[in-house]
């Protein structure tokens, strides 16, 4: 009798949640990354002076999810982007300090145009004074350490959790590639493709208390361009969610918003309006039937080499120095000076691609650059057998626009025109979409999915 009671007690312990072989562990943390002094703002080349103050704090936030032996860290930031060098340096230090491999780190930027400039060499293209340019290096060095410590704080916060997923929609994002007789211009185009999905992942404590909400949307974070630091609509959405659900950490993941703008736009009141609309969409998803996420996670990371078209002839670059467009002058001078110093100008660039698999239920695919919305459709088609597919852009390295084959053929700002304002030679060759989608299938295969050969022809 006593032997039976002992066996029954042991069985009860083994099958209880505390002693389950697999369960989620989750940790969250945040840190303010608002510059301590006025510095140049990122996103609009037409700005001629540093920020004039702070309207709302900028944050970096981290969510760590652990299941079994696998960990995944989502780092979201109220920044224009995470430059490649910064991601590489933080990843190296995190691997040394916390033993986390590169595939276990995802860096996403909200792409606010009201944050600090931190991209290398933008000081030259924006015509900054030396003192302003020096601020970029100082800020980036502090940010690197802050992100490493942020990840450590989230790891220290790990505790038992449950996860669920749902989605809703918000419709303030509109395609901005308006066709005209003279080409595509930046204007609201209601007939253009969009992705209005609002994916929402909730994290609860073992007691059922909501701890974190990871959510996304595919839209440029450009409701406003005021000269005060703030997170634009994505920042206001996070703030509103945290007010709606006290004690929650809200983390925004920018989607494939490269050719999407918020409309109407141009005023800070509109940034607040869009933020509230997005927060309400998150609340709607929370009230939808939830898909529980069993404790299983895996990730994969790769880089694909994207090719640029050959450089213009030297004579064309020399002619551009006489252009009335100051940005064309700077770009030509930048390339010519490199050629005169016999410095290599690479005609390829590594684009990071990452997959995060949540069991059989959900896969997130994160792609570097300012990803246009066509890639949302392409990725979702690739993973058509998965119930839920979440596509993120602006991840791990925001090097510039990432056009699809359609956008590249049509031309315009996203197809290569924007490269005038940065160091990449550009534009990409016609192989760009095939190379990106090959990388998507590669990371998908690495986390255990299989794809029919027919997909390669379709894409």
User: Tens of pLDDT along 413-444?
Assistant: 999 999 999 999 989 999 999 999 999 999 99
> Given this model, what pLDDT does residue 274 score?
98
Cα(90)–Cα(85) distance, integer angstroms: 9
Looking at the chain, the whole-number percentage of residues with pLDDT higher than 90 is: 92
- pLDDT above 70 (res 21): no
Give, in order, the Cα–Cα distances in Å from 273 to each of 196, 214, 249, 269, 296. Answer: 16, 20, 21, 6, 37
- pLDDT above 90 (res 459): no
Give the pLDDT mean for 118-146: 93
Report the SS3 class of residue 376.
helix
Q: pLDDT by residue (tens digit) across 170-187?
A: 999 999 999 999 999 999
Give, in order, the Cα–Cα distances in Å from 254 to each of 233, 258, 345, 372, 399. Answer: 11, 10, 30, 12, 15
- pLDDT above 80 (res 16): no
Residue with more model confidence, 456 or 17: 456
Please tell me the pTM assigned to this model. 0.94
- Name the packing angle between helices 84-98 and 130-156 (round to 10°): 30
Q: How is 42-110 classified by DSSP, letter by letter?
A: SS-TT--S----BSS--EEEEEEEEETTEEEEEEEESSS---HHHHHHHHHHHHHHH---GGGEEEEE-
Give the pLDDT mean for 379-403: 97
- pLDDT above 80 (res 454): no
Domain residue limits, the chain = 24-296+360-398, 311-346
- pLDDT above 70 (res 345): yes
> Given this model, what pLDDT does residue 438 score?
98
Give the pLDDT mean for 18-45: 88
Q: pLDDT by residue (tens digit) across 367-390?
A: 999 999 999 999 999 999 999 999
- Nearest alpha carbon to residue 394 among 112, 73, 186: 112
- pLDDT above 60 (res 458): no
> Given this model, what pLDDT does residue 455 score?
66
Give the pLDDT mean for 296-323: 97
Q: pLDDT by residue (tens digit) across 264-296?
A: 999 999 999 999 999 999 999 999 999 999 999
- pLDDT above 50 (res 122): yes
Beta-ladder partners of 9: none
Tokens (6 digits) for 134: 């020096």
Tokens (6 digits) for 437: 């989608």
Cα(217)–Cα(391) distance, integer angstroms: 9
- pLDDT above 90 (res 80): yes
Q: pLDDT by residue (tens digit) across 47-58?
A: 999 999 999 999
- pLDDT above 90 (res 121): no
């Amino acid at each position: 009798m006593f032997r039976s009671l002992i066996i029954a007690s042991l069985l009860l312990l083994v099958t209880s949640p505390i002693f389950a072989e697999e369960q989620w562990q989750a940790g969250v943390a945040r840190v303010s990354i608002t510059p301590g002094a006025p510095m140049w703002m990122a996103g609009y080349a037409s700005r001629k002076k540093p920020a004039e103050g702070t309207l709302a704090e900028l944050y970096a936030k981290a969510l760590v999810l652990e299941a079994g032996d696998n960990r995944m860290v989502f780092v979201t930031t109220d920044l224009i982007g995470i430059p490649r060098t910064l991601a590489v340096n933080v990843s190296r230090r995190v691997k040394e300090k916390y033993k986390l491999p590169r595939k276990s780190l995802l860096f996403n930027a909200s792409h606010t145009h009201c944050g600090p400039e931190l991209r290398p060499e933008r000081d030259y293209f924006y015509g900054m004074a030396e003192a302003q340019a020096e601020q970029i290096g100082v800020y980036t060095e502090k940010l690197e350490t802050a992100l490493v410590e942020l990840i450590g704080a989230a790891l220290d916060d790990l505790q038992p959790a449950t996860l669920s997923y749902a989605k809703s929609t918000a419709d303030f994002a509109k395609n901005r590639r308006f066709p005209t007789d003279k080409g595509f211009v930046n204007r609201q185009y209601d007939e253009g493709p969009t992705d209005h999905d609002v994916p929402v992942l909730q994290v609860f404590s073992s007691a059922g208390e909501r701890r974190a909400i990871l959510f996304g949307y595919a839209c440029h974070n450009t409701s406003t361009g005021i000269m005060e630091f703030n997170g634009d609509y994505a920042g206001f959405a996070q703030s509103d969610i945290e007010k709606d659900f006290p004690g929650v950490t809200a983390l925004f993941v920018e989607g494939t918003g490269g050719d999407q703008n918020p409309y109407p736009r141009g005023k800070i009141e509109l940034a607040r309006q869009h933020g509230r609309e997005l927060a309400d969409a998150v609340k709607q998803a929370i009230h939808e039937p939830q898909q529980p996420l069993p404790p299983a996670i895996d990730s994969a990371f790769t880089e694909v080499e994207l090719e640029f078209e050959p450089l213009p002839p030297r004579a064309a670059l020399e002619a551009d120095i006489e252009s009335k467009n100051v940005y064309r002058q700077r770009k030509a001078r930048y390339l010519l000076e490199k050629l005169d110093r016999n410095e290599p100008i690479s005609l390829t660039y590594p684009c990071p691609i990452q997959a995060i698999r949540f069991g059989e239920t959900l896969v997130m695919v994160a792609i570097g650059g300012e990803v246009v919305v066509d890639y949302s459709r392409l990725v979702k088609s690739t993973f058509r057998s998965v119930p839920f597919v979440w596509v993120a852009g602006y991840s791990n390295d925001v090097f510039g626009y990432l056009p699809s084959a359609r956008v590249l053929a049509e031309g315009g700002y996203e197809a290569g025109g924007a490269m005038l304002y940065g160091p990449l030679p550009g534009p990409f060759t016609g192989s760009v979409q095939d190379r990106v989608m090959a990388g998507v299938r590669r990371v998908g295969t690495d986390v255990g999915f299989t794809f029919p050969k027919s997909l390669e022809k379709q894409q």
